[in-house]
Structure 1
Amino acid sequence: MLSQIAPFTSPPFQAALRDASTLGANNGYVLVLGNTNSGEGSLQTLLWEHGVPAYTPKEQMPLTTILSDLGAPSLILLNLDKMETDAMIEIEEYRVRYDVPLICIAPANLQQPRVQAFLHVANDFVCTPYDSTELLLRIMRSSRQSPPTQKQRTRLWLDTTKRQFHNGNQAVLLSPTEFAILQQLNRKIGQAVDFEALSAHIEGESLEQKLNTLRVHIRRLRQKVEPNPRRPEYIQTVRGVGYRLTVPVSVEEKH
């Protein structure tokens, strides 16, 4: 439960309120996740009362759906005690690609494994019960970072003659199947390519056998092209659909 708002005359509150107004003037907003209550006494209401534009989904929905409607937030405020694991993974996959500050509201029991994991990657956190003025100050401190931008990357390109993937000055040889899969994903950059379409490059007696082989090829492909194969940044899984490539790859023919 939220604590009482600090008196309007208190220096910490006045400082937070000035910074909050600046955030609103810059068209930023705080995305509040893990708390579907947007009525009186909610985090969303608390932030708006302090001049901080905030949005809370009425129900847990895919992060991509929220972002397509509202655009990138200035900050994500995450209630760890009320978030499903899949949603938390989606949030961190997004933050791998974009520099969006994250503040976590953690339960009193900090020893929970998933809580520990998220606190390691968060910019800041508060434990329940927390002071509303302290939370607001932490939000404004974290949101002073530059607006969310896609992280800078080296140039990625494919050499069709040598069947090589290049990441800056590094080159790696791809198998014919890996090369075909990457090319197909690259033709629909940012879109999900379904399992069946990708399986067309793979031999097998049944679709199930092809899908199993496809997963092996995707794993090997990630090991070759991803900066961190355990946390794929370029080739992402679209659950129940297929895979998508998140960054464009130039295609060149070298002689």
Structure 2
Amino acid sequence: MDKETIIIVDDEKEIRDLIGIYLGNEGYKILKAEDGEEALKILEQKRVDLIILDIMMPKMDGIEACMKIREERNMPIIMLSAKSEDMDKIWGLTAGADDYVTKPFNPLELIARVKSQLRRYKKFNVPMAIENESIIEIDELIINTDTHKVIVGDREVKLTPREFDILELLGRNKGIVFSIEKIYERVWKEEFFKSDNTVMVHIRKLREKIEDNPRKPKYVKTVWGVGYKVDNL
């Protein structure tokens, strides 16, 4: 089973790197952001299971970021702060945080709190995969079925509704080969006619948009004589 993904949000690179090293040694997947705005952008693109969020940051501080995250997501949030006053802790917890750690902190204590929050979340909430089922990730390809956004690497790709539906169908069913007939009937919701090459045309256009080399596709692969599929890379 894959380890959970954790995002570390702090404007101090040394803090991000330190926490990242300790969490990485525990096998967690690590994402990093230097302010609340960057963290929110990452959350739109990636599945995240827990957030470590500093309070004092430029652009968007941790309190505001926490409140915005809580509007749509319920994964655990651990707040970090250089302040130890009770009021700061209260503000953090009121904004929706699950735990609060004061700087300077013992990294091993933070790791223990991370594990505790993840255990509690798994026990009392829906499975994490269900929470983010609107995000489909295949290597550098990210499909957001809520916003109908597709991102490849660092660029957003504009797809037509049909192209998007084909990509979502294949992406949600990784490893399963769909014939042209099945793709047509699932996406167009009409009876397929053998002489119709509509699916092939859409697949070609889709590849031109998402593949670095459409002739050697990385994502939408041809299974000769059978159909098309998307695999885990």
Sort the TM-score into its range (normalised by shorter chain).
Answer: 0.3 to 0.5
Superposition TM-score, scaled by structure 1 size: 0.41
State the structure with bigger RCO (CA 8 A, min sep 6), 1 or 2: 1
Superposition TM-score, scaled by structure 2 size: 0.45
